[in-house]
Amino acid sequence: MNDPLAVWHEEHGNFAKLLNLLEGQLNLFHRSQTPNYALMLDIMCYMTHYPDLLHHPREDCAFEIVKKRTPSLGWLVDELMAEHTVALQNSAQLVADLDSVVNGAIMPRESVETPGREYIAHFRHHMAREEADMFPIVAKTLNARDWAAIDATVKPAVDPLFGTNAPRQYEVLRREIVREAGAGAEA
């Protein structure tokens, strides 16, 4: 797939799957069950490594080009880029909290559930804004030379979870995604 916006749209779909899995784990609290904290940590480790370090920086480069060419949209670019920063900060904190729990720390459920739900809501809202408000503008504004410049600035990378050769650390998470997809197909 050579169309960067199509790649981003597909990645958003993948991120949504992970947010759904994370939400499903958080929902276990309300059924008096214990969530799989290690699975939640795997999800958030992925979110801090792929979207935060590769996906969002590429978007930021594209958004900056839009801002330069259409200064009247600077407010939208600034808001979306600020949301990337918030996502980065929130995901790092959630990873730290989940890592503590996985390693034996006793924490009130609210200290995981509340930031987890806020992260999910923020990320979903952010993706919806990008898809509806920014991606159509990016499609009209950027040309092949712009995309080449973005590639030179932030190298495209194979997705470590949804790509063809996922590292071993994501093996359990991949199986859970497949399991969830199968369960969704049966419903």
Q: What is the pLDDT of residue 177?
A: 81
Q: What is the pLDDT of residue 40?
A: 94
Q: What is the pLDDT of residue 20?
A: 95
Residues 24 and 184 sit within 8 Å (Cβ to Cβ): no
Rounded average pLDDT over 75-86 = 95
Helix crossing, 74-102 with 110-129: angle to 10°? 150
Residues 137 and 66 sit within 8 Å (Cβ to Cβ): yes
Q: What is the pLDDT of residue 28?
A: 93
Q: What is the pLDDT of residue 156?
A: 84
In CATH, the number for domain 4-186 is 1.20.120.520
In tens, the pLDDT along 95-151 reads 999 999 999 999 888 899 999 999 999 999 999 999 999 999 999 999 999 999 999
Residues 9 and 135 sit within 8 Å (Cβ to Cβ): yes
- H/E element, 180: helix 171-186
Cβ neighbours of residue 29 under 8 Å, at least 6 residues apart? 35, 109, 113
In tens, the pLDDT along 168-180 reads 778 888 888 888 7
Q: What is the pLDDT of residue 95?
A: 94
pTM, whole model, 2 decimals?
0.91
Residues 80 and 63 sit within 8 Å (Cβ to Cβ): yes
Residue type, 72: S
Helices (H), 33-154: 37-49, 56-69, 74-102, 110-129, 135-141, 144-153
- H/E element, 6: helix 4-27
Q: What is the pLDDT of residue 4?
A: 92
Mean pLDDT of the chain: 91
- From the list 45, 16, 2, 20, the residue with the least C-alpha distance to 130 is 16
Residues 40 and 100 sit within 8 Å (Cβ to Cβ): no
- Domain residue ranges of the chain, discontinuous segments joined by +: 4-186
- From the list 176, 140, 138, the residue with the least C-alpha distance to 59 is 138
Confidence grade of residue 1 (pLDDT, cut at 50, 70, 90): very low
| Residues 50, 144, 59: CA angle, nearest 5 degrees | 30
Phi, psi of 35 (to 5 degrees): -70, 165
Please identify which residue in the block is written with the tokens 């504004």: 141
